[in-house]
């Protein structure tokens, strides 16, 4: 029997990796997309046209569209990844964020019930380490109290609890992965890691002068997205529906990420000064390449995330050391060096860094 899965948010970073994983396992994969005046399906372009990959228009704020797609495909597994996922944006669009990230989860659960799939469909909900917010314990595990610290986190807390409620009230197999930050070469360009790797590549190739960042002292537990989507699948293959923390158990500051990314493009940074006056200086040229801009400060910021993934290691066989922090930064920097070079020579990204180095395009 071919298993049928629905991924909401298939065009996102995680959705695209998860679609690849499930197709590789022989699933019939359906994904939801939104209408846009421009085509933003870059991350899944390579999957379109495959016989077991299907796309449907649906929006998390539109119950009817969700009911229609769930009723039509009657999935055995739903991965609810769709969300307004940017924390800073949630301060500017709090109502939209609540509608999509909180009520949207309820819409999925109710659609499953209304389609008569209460006991046949398993649901994964994308919860987040942002739930710990103004952290009350370090490291954070499944028993750590939540203290959400942004409109995004408050909305995600509703999503987290409504999933637990439906599990208990209706015996549904629904569970939440409390995932700590995970990044990749497909990460959105306004999240701090990608913003840094892209800027490092551009600065190295003379396409950008400076990078402006917010809080450099914020700690994150950063892992590789491709490793994390595997846990989503494992959670739905479990005997019982349970929630898990997925993290590496190691933390680094934004400053450290920045220093390493620039190191990989051949620029050694020295940070001088403090707070808004802190600067990242290129040791060789003496030029200031990183500056702090209060524009990227948040009204409330989560500054100390460190996950304890022991339960996932024990029960799901999760290996938090599969891709190290150094390897993650290297993968992202290398991909962005190729992207920036390809833009420069007017090519589609279809080659690798070694080829550009050999041709003398990147020096």
C-beta closer to ligand NAP: residue 152 or 356? 152
Centroid of chain to Cα 311: 21
Q: How far apart are CA 2 and CA 49, in angstroms?
A: 19
From the list ligand GDD, ligand NAP, none, partner contacted by residue 192 (C-beta under 5 to 8 A by kind): ligand GDD
Q: 11 an active-site residue?
A: no
Burial of 220 (0-12, 13-18, 19+ CB in 10 A): buried
User: Does 83 interact with ligand NAP (rule: CB under 6 A)?
Assistant: yes
Catalytic annotation, pick one of 8, 11, 128, 144: 128
Q: 152 an active-site residue?
A: yes
User: Does 9 interact with ligand NAP (rule: CB under 6 A)?
Assistant: yes
User: Does 15 interact with ligand NAP (rule: CB under 6 A)?
Assistant: yes
Residues 238-267 that bind ligand GDD (CB under 6 A): 254
Q: Which of 29, 69, 70, 100 binds ligand NAP (CB under 6 A)?
A: 100
Question: Which residues sit opposite 29 in a β-bridge?
Answer: 5, 53
The 109-128 site mask, x for binding ligand NAP (CB under 6 A), equals -----------------x-x
Compute the C-alpha angle 113/119/125, nearest 5°.
70
User: Does 11 interact with ligand GDD (rule: CB under 6 A)?
Assistant: no
Q: Which of 113, 298, 322, 330 binds ligand GDD (CB under 6 A)?
A: 298
The 118-147 site mask, x for binding ligand GDD (CB under 6 A), equals ----------xxx-----------------
Q: 128 an active-site residue?
A: yes
Q: How far apart are CA 248 and CA 264, in angstroms?
A: 22
Catalytic annotation, pick one of 130, 183, 185, 334: 130
Residues 33-52 that bind ligand NAP (CB under 6 A): 34, 40
8 A C-beta contact, residue 10 and residue 183 = no
Q: Which of 63, 76, 85, 90 binds ligand NAP (CB under 6 A)?
A: 85
User: Does 80 interact with ligand GDD (rule: CB under 6 A)?
Assistant: no
Binding stretches for ligand GDD (CB under 6 A): 85, 87-88, 128-130, 180-181, 190-193, 195, 213-215, 218, 220, 254, 296, 298, 301-302, 305
Return the active site residues. 128, 130, 152
Question: Which chain residues interact with ligand NAP by CB under 6 A?
Answer: 8-9, 11-15, 32, 34, 40, 59-61, 81-85, 100, 126, 128, 179, 181-182, 188
């Amino acid at each position: 029997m071919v298993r049928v899965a629905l991924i909401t948010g298939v065009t996102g970073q995680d959705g695209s990796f998860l679609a690849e994983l499930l197709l590789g396992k022989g699933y019939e994969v359906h994904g939801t997309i939104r209408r846009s005046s421009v085509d933003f399906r870059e991350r899944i372009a390579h999957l379109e046209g495959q016989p077991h990959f299907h796309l449907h228009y649906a929006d998390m704020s539109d119950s009817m569209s969700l009911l229609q797609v769930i009723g039509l495909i009657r999935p055995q597994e739903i991965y609810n990844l769709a969300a307004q996922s940017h924390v800073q944006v949630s301060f500017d669009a709090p109502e939209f964020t609540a509608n999509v990230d909180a009520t949207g989860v309820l819409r999925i659960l109710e659609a499953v019930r209304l389609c008569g799939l209460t006991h046949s469909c398993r649901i994964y909900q994308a919860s987040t380490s942002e739930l710990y917010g103004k952290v009350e314990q370090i490291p954070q595990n499944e028993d750590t109290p939540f203290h959400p610290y942004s409109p995004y986190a408050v909305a995600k807390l509703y999503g987290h609890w409504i999933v637990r409620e439906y599990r208990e009230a209706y015996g549904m197999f629904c569970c939440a992965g409390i995932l700590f930050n995970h990044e990749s070469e497909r990460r959105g360009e306004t999240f701090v890691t990608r913003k840094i790797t892209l800027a490092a590549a551009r600065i190295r190739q003379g396409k950008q002068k400076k990078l402006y960042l917010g809080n450099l002292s914020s700690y994150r537990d950063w892992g590789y997205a491709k490793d994390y989507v595997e846990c989503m699948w494992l959670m739905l293959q479990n005997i019982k529906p349970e929630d898990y923390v997925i993290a590496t158990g190691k933390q680094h500051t934004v400053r450290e990420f920045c220093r390493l990314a620039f190191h990989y493009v051949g620029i050694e940074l020295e940070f001088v000064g403090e707070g808004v006056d802190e600067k990242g200086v290129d040791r060789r040229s003496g030029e200031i390449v990183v500056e702090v801009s209060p524009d990227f400060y948040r009204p409330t910021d989560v500054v100390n995330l460190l996950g304890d993934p022991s339960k996932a290691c024990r029960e799901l066989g999760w290996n938090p050391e599969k891709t190290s922090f150094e390897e993650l930064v290297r993968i992202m920097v290398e991909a962005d060096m190729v992207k920036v070079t390809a833009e420069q020579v007017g090519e589609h990204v279809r080659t690798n860094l070694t080829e550009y180095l050999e041709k003398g395009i990147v020096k």
